[in-house]
Amino acid sequence: MSRERLSKQPIREAWTLERLELERSLALGFAIESTTASAYDSHLNSYLNFCRLHNRAVEPTQDTLSFFVVWLSHHIEPRSVDSYLSGIVNRLESEFPHVREARRSLLVTRTLKGCKRRLSRPIQRKQPLTVEDLERVMIALSTSDAYNDGLFLTLLVTGFKTLQRLAELCWPNAKKHQSYRKVPLRHSLILTDNSASYTLPHHKTGTSGEGCEILLLGEPEGRVDGLRIFRRYVSARDRLFVHHPQLWLTADGSIPTRAWFMRYLRRFFPPTISGHSMRAGGATALAGTGVAPALIQAAGRWSSEEFQKYIRKHPFLLHLLVHSSQGH
């Protein structure tokens, strides 16, 4: 092909093989969350330990994986074995390209199905929060001038109203998983008379790296006006930390961690309420007011498959969606 027929290309320098390998390694490192990577490493260690204890080769054949499923199902809840197999596939696929095929084989899938039927225990589900729960916390903290009390209430109500995961509001406890790429920044906040919005720079299902916008609407006639609570927090935050870029800050200037939030949560709720109860409760509240499932899915940033799994796992939400559809 003649040079004249080629489209004109900008001048770009060639990289060395070492640079290409480095950049590829960095890209692969960003492919999954650090918390997921740590879990996968733990799952692989469990598999390697199984192989060592039973004098089996590490190669993940159908036989070895099915034996691993049976053995592990006697030590942990069989429903969790699926995630272990996902971790093993992720970590071993580069060395054993057939591992995904072995994982999907009839022998492994039927063995896991049988273990779930034989050994699974009843699910102890966490309860979703309700508007009444939010109101109770709001009343309990109404006389407090403590900055951290206001921060906790704002996180609780914002998470409920905007269907956020706790990991999107707080940092992980482990420092190795704390990343500023996921921290909402104060300068992205836009306040209007009837709304507050800010950029969530990273979320679990996002793959484009663009993040998404979180929108909190005012409810002046509602029992819990999330916007009024949010404004009060921002005012207090800006007085103390005018030069800090992070949106969410505790009284000592640090980003709230999951442990910090859970300590506060335990002051008001029993163990049947967890950090996930905000998101589950917010979705349930929307379903109770007749909001269409597709809109709840979009608001919570669920993929279609994720959302179907989610409503199956949360009977309160499923019940309301069914009754809502029957009413139309």
Q: What is the pLDDT of residues 305-319, one digit of tens each?
A: 667 666 666 666 666
**Which residues make Cβ contacts (< 8 Å) with residue 253, sequence separation at least 6?**
240, 241, 244
Structure confidence by residue, pLDDT tens digits, 127-145: 889 999 999 999 999 899 9
- What integer is the mean pLDDT of 152-165? 95
CA distances to 54, 129, 214, 262, 271 from 249, rounded to whole Å, are: 50, 24, 18, 16, 25
The tens digit of pLDDT for each residue in 14-64 reads 999 999 999 998 888 778 888 888 999 999 999 999 999 999 999 999 999
pLDDT of residue 162: 94
Residue 1 pLDDT > 60, yes or no? no
Interior angle at CA 188, CA 182 and CA 191, nearest 5? 130
pLDDT tens by residue, 182-222? 899 999 999 999 999 999 997 655 555 567 899 999 998 88
What percent of the chain stands above pLDDT 90? 66
Distance (Å) of CA 38 to CA 8, 31, 186, 237: 45, 13, 30, 34
Class of residue 282 by CB neighbours under 10 A (exposed 0-12, middle 13-18, buried 19+): buried
As a whole number of angstroms, the distance between CA 230 and CA 153 comes to 9
* Structure confidence at residue 324 as a pLDDT band (50, 70, 90): low
Both tokens assigned to 29: 């490192």
230: pLDDT confidence band, cut at 50, 70 and 90? Answer: very high
Report the phi/psi class of residue 254: left, alpha or beta, with left for phi > 0 and alpha for psi in -120 to 50: beta
pLDDT for the residue numbered 286: 86
Task: Give the pLDDT of residue 208.
Answer: 54
CB 255 within 8 A of CB 261: no
Q: What is the pLDDT of residues 163-172, one digit of tens each?
A: 999 999 999 9
Q: What pLDDT score was predicted for residue 246? A: 96
Predicted confidence at residue 317, as pLDDT, reads 66
Q: 323: which 2 tokens?
A: 């009754």
* One-character DSSP codes across 87-124: HHHHHHTTT-TTHHHHHTSHHHHHHHHHHHHHH-----
